[in-house]
Structure 1
Amino acid sequence: MSGIMGTYHLDGCPVNRKYLEKMVDVLAHRGPDGADIWVGESVGFAHRLLWTTPESLLEKLPFVDQGDNFAITSDARLDNREELLYKLQVFNLLPDKITDSQIILAAYQKWGEQCPEHLLGDFAFAIWDKQKQILFCARDHFGVKPFYYHHQPGKAFVFASEIKALFCLPQVPRQLNEVRIGDYLALMMEDKAITTYKDILRLPPAHSMVVSQSGIQLWSYWSLDLHREIRLASNEAYAEEFRQIFTEAVRCRLRSAFPVVSHLSGGLDSSAVTCVARDILAETGKTPLHTISSIFDKITECDERPFINAVLEQGGLIPHYVHGDEFGPLSNLDSIFQYEDEALLGPSHFYPWIVNCTAKELGLRISLDGFDGDTTVSHGVARLTELGRQGKWQTLIQEAKAIAPHHNISPYAVFRHYGLPFLRDLVKQWRWIEFARAVQLIHKHFGASRKLLIIYHGIKPIWEQIQRFWKGGHKQRTSSHSSLSETPLVNHHFAERIRLDERIQTLNPPRESPLTLKEEHWRSLNQGILAYTLEQMDQYAAMFSLEARHPFMDKRLIEFCVALPAEQKLYQGWGRMVMRRALAGILPEKIQWRGGKTNMSPNFNDGLLNRDRQILDQVMSHKVKHLEKYINLDFLQAAYQRMISAGNQVSDDDCMAVWQAVSLALWIDYKKVIP
């Protein structure tokens, strides 16, 4: 994790060095190990250096080639260094004397604007090509490294790792982007380009960009393949392949000149990262892995110590703890808002804040986590939908029975949700024999009434079809459904003004259930919320001069997991089955075969309603009224009253609505943003 920034005067005016100096100062937290500036007439780069990898100790950025034709500033960790060095064959130095930025620049010199297609790892960089008079920029596949920019056509282009650095230039406006506020209040974070500020954009993940005097060209250099399939000989072969890829993903993120810490929560994902990292470090004789875990002495239902201890008891770790129930979600917002540029905080923001604060106090600077292993490997629940579509009723029933105990619900409740809707499909397709067989199976396994199944899922759908036909319903009609009916927190007039309903329909349209588990898996990894969450995690680490590394965000691992057969994701009721098999003997069995995970809502609710109650009441009484143009205050106040009166039965919907409004009100008040 470092800080990059720069400016390109498209009108040919010389760069004023003092503005780059201001940008460097503002991003001091991102790189305490050094800072430098390079100016080349109408282009200027700056850099804040955080030593992380062994090669970074030799890094000097911005870097200019010997011919003075190219300059680069980058925040990067390359995971395929050996492959790239072999392909490039341009260095006369030992590999450990070559920095990642030098490799990226050499890749650009060889492959030009296609160079990101050859890179693997986490990166954001900008290269000035003097001969072509262009600025070439790129960002990694999932958006681990941030890249923000402001463009004034024909005048200037400015970029940085954080938005606050852009405000050092007088031409960059600090004005609220109301469209982004509408998206946030509607819980629709699919736009991968806009930010909370007008005219400040993000380079989307897996995108490259060329900036020249004629404008901006932006394109995607990679996308996740929906159609790739992997077929191996056995369950053991799938597990072995997963273990190799996952181990390599962790190994790459252990490339460090300093001790490493892992966020150990006790869940399957963080435990997997911790155990594999521990074993790799032990094999190489390096400093043992540190761990930091959140524990809960007061809100004991959130405490994961039995699972955390199962990992620690294996040895080879240096444990540390933070008390997750001593802070509330509003407790440290003033400190967070010093660094956090956007208003769109998630309810769990304070966990990484206190964990990273502890890592800083321990003198650590590289942190691993199990971020979004759920999405990468997939619990595979959509396999039930796939089985229903395929008419594989026996297998669907078996999986429903097996998965139910892991989620504390009845097998028939699982089947009713995922299986019964497809009975109607059989009727609509006039497949009555298959319908009758399915009814018999459902009756046999769940004791459901055959008569009621036939009436409600056989006769009723046919009668509805006949009625629609006689009423002219056989003609196509345009749906008049409004997505805004599902977003009651948003002020109706505000929603109409920014055309929020159109945005929701375009960016997050109502769609039928995915035809396959693979399609659902693919969709989940293309959500805009993923990139935004990674950007937030970068800032939470940057506050404390840390670099956050996420093994489950490895391109190779994600491509492998998406391409797996459905039964490797869900099998006999166990989600993420390939991972459970792969880590046998590495994970404690108590975690390897853990069914669910602890719900952290009780701690959040207690923090909001008790530890931070004074702040909550004050904001609701005095500050949220300033959001009247954006929020339906009647709905908000009703949700607030229900929440404070509910005791231990707080509604998640009410809590989320109040949290969105309160955090937004506090952010606007702190930042003094112009609406």
Structure 2
Amino acid sequence: MSGIMGVQNLNSQPVSYQYLEKMVDILAHRGPDGADIWVEESVGFGHRMLWTTPESLIEKLPLVNQAGNLVITADARIDNREELIPLLKLPERPIEKITDSEFILAAYEKWGESCPEHLLGDFAFAIWDKRQQSLFCARDHFGVKPFYYYYLPNQVFVFASEIKALLCLPQVPRRLNEVRIADYLALMMEDKAITTYQDILRLPPAHSMVVNQSGLNIWSYWTLEQRELQLESNEAYAAEFRKIFTEAVRCRLRSAFAIAAHLSGGLDSSAITCVARNLLTQEGKTQLHTISSIFDKIPECDERAYINAVLEQGGLIPHYVRGDGIGPLSNLNSIFQYEDEALLGPSHFYPWTINDAAKKLGLRITLDGFDGDTTVSHGTTRLSELARQGKWNTFAQEVKALSPHHNVSHTAVLRNYGLPQLRDLAKQFRWIAFAQAVQKIHQYFGISRKLLIIHHGIKPFIQQILQRWHKQEKSQKSLISQIPLVKRQFAEQIHLEERIQTLDNSTQSPLTLREEHWRSLTQGILVYTLEQMDQYAAMFSLEARHPFMDKRLIEFCLALPSEQKLCQGWGRMVMRRALDGILPETIQWRGGKTNLTPNFLHGLVHRDRQILDEVMCNKLESIEKYINVDFLRTAYQRLISADDKASNDDSTVVWQAVTLALWLDHKQVML
């Protein structure tokens, strides 16, 4: 993890060294091991260095090539170095003496603007091409490394790892982007370009950009494709997963220092911890540290039984933090000194406390199981797929196997995944298939055929006819009414309904498990969460590494047949099979994971009650333009009256409004 920044004056004026110094200084937390600036006429780069990999100890950035016609600043870890060595003209040195920025620069010299297509890893970089008089920038496939920019045509282009660095320049406005506020309040974070600041943008993941006197051009260099992989057996799929997953972890162990793993006791963090420990042991390297959140006050959230199952295998140095020691509002003033946007998730304080512990231990790199659920997929949409295909026998077998793993009834699973497909058959006038499905559901689940026909055949059929008659009336039903927290006048002003219809496809049911899996891997909230994870680490001069965000692993998992994702009632079956003998059995065959909502609610209503009441009583003025205050106050009263048994809807509404109000109060952003 490092910090990058740069300025290109498009009016040919010389770059101010003073402003670059300010940008470098304000990102000191990203790289305490060194700082440097390069300036040549109308272009200037800056860099903050955090030593992590062995090569970074000898790295000097910004870097000018031998010919003097290319300059790079980068925050990068390149994972396919061995593969690139024979393809590139690199310095005559051992590979362990060649830095990642040299690999990127050599790739640009060989492939030009196509170079990101040949790179694996996490990266954000900018290259000044003196020959072309252009600035080339790129960001990694999933957006692990951040890249923010401001562009004023014919005047200036400025970029940085964090928004606060851009705001050092007087040309960059500090204005609130109300569209982003509306997206946040609507829980619709699908726009991968905008930020909370007007005209400050993000380079989307898997995108490149060129800036020159002619303007700014952005394009996608890679897209995640939906394809199917066919191997000969379950064992073959498991072996391939184990190979790719192990390599994803191995790449992220390249370090000059000791490493910590966030160990929660779940399947994902445990898998990474166990594989990383085995790799380090095989290579005779320092033992892996683990940092785990424990919950003495809220025992229903405590995972120590599973954490200990991993630790008992040996080869680990355990550390613990109190997950119930602070609340979700406790340290926002400290966080907002670093975090540039208010759009925090309600679990933000867990990585904060874990990263704080890692910093105090003198560590620089953390591994986590971030979004393994999404990468591997629980595969429950396979149930809908089976019902849609008329494979009710297999559907019933999976439902009955799945129910005990997650402590849900057969009827509840049928209601969510089977009956909607039955209704669709009626709406499509497929009466033979409908009758066959009714018979199968009656046979396997004992539900009355008469009730199935009435409630899931006749009623949907009649409703569809009525909807056609009242099509105009139906089309006028506003999506905004489904988001009562957002003030209607504000929603109409920024055309929120149109944005949701354009950007959010979650209201459209996917036809296949693979389509649903692809959607989850390409959603905007994934990008935003990765950016937050970067900032939570950067606050403590750490680099967060996410093995489940490996491009090779994601492509492999997406291509798996549906039965490798859900089989015999087990989600993520391929991963469970692959890690047999590596994971403790108690974790390998866990059905679900602990719900941390009780700790969040207790923290919000009790530990942070004074802050909560202060905001609700005295600090809502800044957000009255955006929210329905009456609705918020009603939710707040229900929340504090229900104590720790409040609904998720009420706690989410209050959390969103309160954090937004606190952030606006802290940042004093101009409208």
Kept after mapping to 1: 8 A contact 2:622/2:665 = no
CA distance in 2, matches of 1:488, 1:454: 35
- The reply to whether residue 144 of structure 1 matches residue 121 of structure 2 is no
Which residue matches 1:87?
87
Which residue matches 2:109?
109
SS state of the match for residue 643, structure 2?
coil
Name the CA shift for 1:641/1:387 in 2 (closer, same or farther; >3 Å): same
Kept after mapping to 2: 8 A contact 1:298/1:325 = yes
Name the CA shift for 1:170/1:248 in 2 (closer, same or farther; >3 Å): same
- The reply to whether residue 672 of structure 1 matches residue 668 of structure 2 is yes
**Residue identity matched to 1:578:** V
CA distance in 2, matches of 1:630, 1:465: 36
Name the CA shift for 1:510/1:606 in 2 (closer, same or farther; >3 Å): closer
- The reply to whether residue 63 of structure 1 matches residue 59 of structure 2 is no
Which residue matches 1:160?
160
Which residue matches 1:349?
348
Which residue matches 2:135?
135
Higher mean alpha-carbon deviation, 445-454 vs 243-252, is at 445-454
SS state of the match for residue 184, structure 2?
helix
SS state of the match for residue 353, structure 1?
helix
The superposition leaves residues 446-495 of structure 1 with CA deviations (integer Å, 9 ceiling, x where unpaired) of: 221122112222333445566678x5x7x899823322112111111111
SS state of the match for residue 648, structure 1?
helix
Which residue matches 1:567?
563
Name the CA shift for 1:194/1:461 in 2 (closer, same or farther; >3 Å): closer
The superposition leaves residues 405-464 of structure 1 with CA deviations (integer Å, 9 ceiling, x where unpaired) of: 222211111012211122233344444443333222222222211221122223334455
- The reply to whether residue 598 of structure 1 matches residue 606 of structure 2 is no
CA distance in 2, matches of 1:306, 1:493: 51
- The reply to whether residue 275 of structure 1 matches residue 271 of structure 2 is no
Higher mean alpha-carbon deviation, 168-177 vs 516-525, is at 168-177
Which residue matches 1:496?
492
State the shift of 1:215 in Å.
Answer: 0.8
Which residue matches 1:648?
644
Which residue matches 1:203?
203
SS state of the match for residue 60, structure 1?
coil
Kept after mapping to 1: 8 A contact 2:327/2:608 = yes
SS state of the match for residue 496, structure 1?
helix
Percent identity, aligned pairs only, is: 74
* Alignment: residue pair count: 671
Which residue matches 1:450?
449
Which residue matches 1:523?
519
SS state of the match for residue 614, structure 1?
helix
CA distance in 2, matches of 1:458, 1:499: 37
**Residue identity matched to 1:480:** Q
Kept after mapping to 1: 8 A contact 2:30/2:541 = yes
State the shift of 1:72 in Å.
Answer: 0.2
CA distance in 1, matches of 2:467, 2:548: 49
Kept after mapping to 1: 8 A contact 2:89/2:106 = no
Kept after mapping to 2: 8 A contact 1:5/1:159 = yes
Correspondence list, 1:211-250, <5 A:
211-226=211-226, 228-250=227-249
Kept after mapping to 2: 8 A contact 1:625/1:633 = no
Which residue matches 2:96?
96
The superposition leaves residues 278-306 of structure 1 with CA deviations (integer Å, 9 ceiling, x where unpaired) of: 00000000000000000000100000000
CA distance in 1, matches of 2:104, 2:150: 24
Kept after mapping to 2: 8 A contact 1:245/1:557 = yes
SS state of the match for residue 71, structure 2?
strand
SS state of the match for residue 192, structure 1?
coil
CA distance in 2, matches of 1:297, 1:123: 39
CA distance in 2, matches of 1:316, 1:464: 62
State the shift of 1:398 in Å.
Answer: 1.2
Which residue matches 2:46?
46
CA distance in 2, matches of 1:664, 1:44: 35
Higher mean alpha-carbon deviation, 620-629 vs 344-353, is at 620-629
State the shift of 1:318 in Å.
Answer: 0.2
CA distance in 2, matches of 1:462, 1:57: 69
Kept after mapping to 2: 8 A contact 1:243/1:582 = yes
- The reply to whether residue 334 of structure 1 matches residue 326 of structure 2 is no
**Residue identity matched to 2:120:** L
TM-score (norm 2): 0.98
**Residue identity matched to 1:43:** V
SS state of the match for residue 265, structure 2?
coil
Q: CA RMSD in A?
A: 1.4
SS state of the match for residue 388, structure 2?
helix
Correspondence list, 1:501-580, <5 A:
501-509=497-505, 511-580=507-576
TM-score (norm 1): 0.98
Correspondence list, 1:85-484, <5 A:
85-226=85-226, 228-464=227-463, 479-484=475-480
**Residue identity matched to 2:503:** L
Structure 2 residue runs without a partner (length 5+)? none
Name the CA shift for 1:622/1:97 in 2 (closer, same or farther; >3 Å): same
The superposition leaves residues 530-563 of structure 1 with CA deviations (integer Å, 9 ceiling, x where unpaired) of: 0100000000000000000000000000000000
- The reply to whether residue 76 of structure 1 matches residue 59 of structure 2 is no
CA distance in 2, matches of 1:483, 1:203: 29
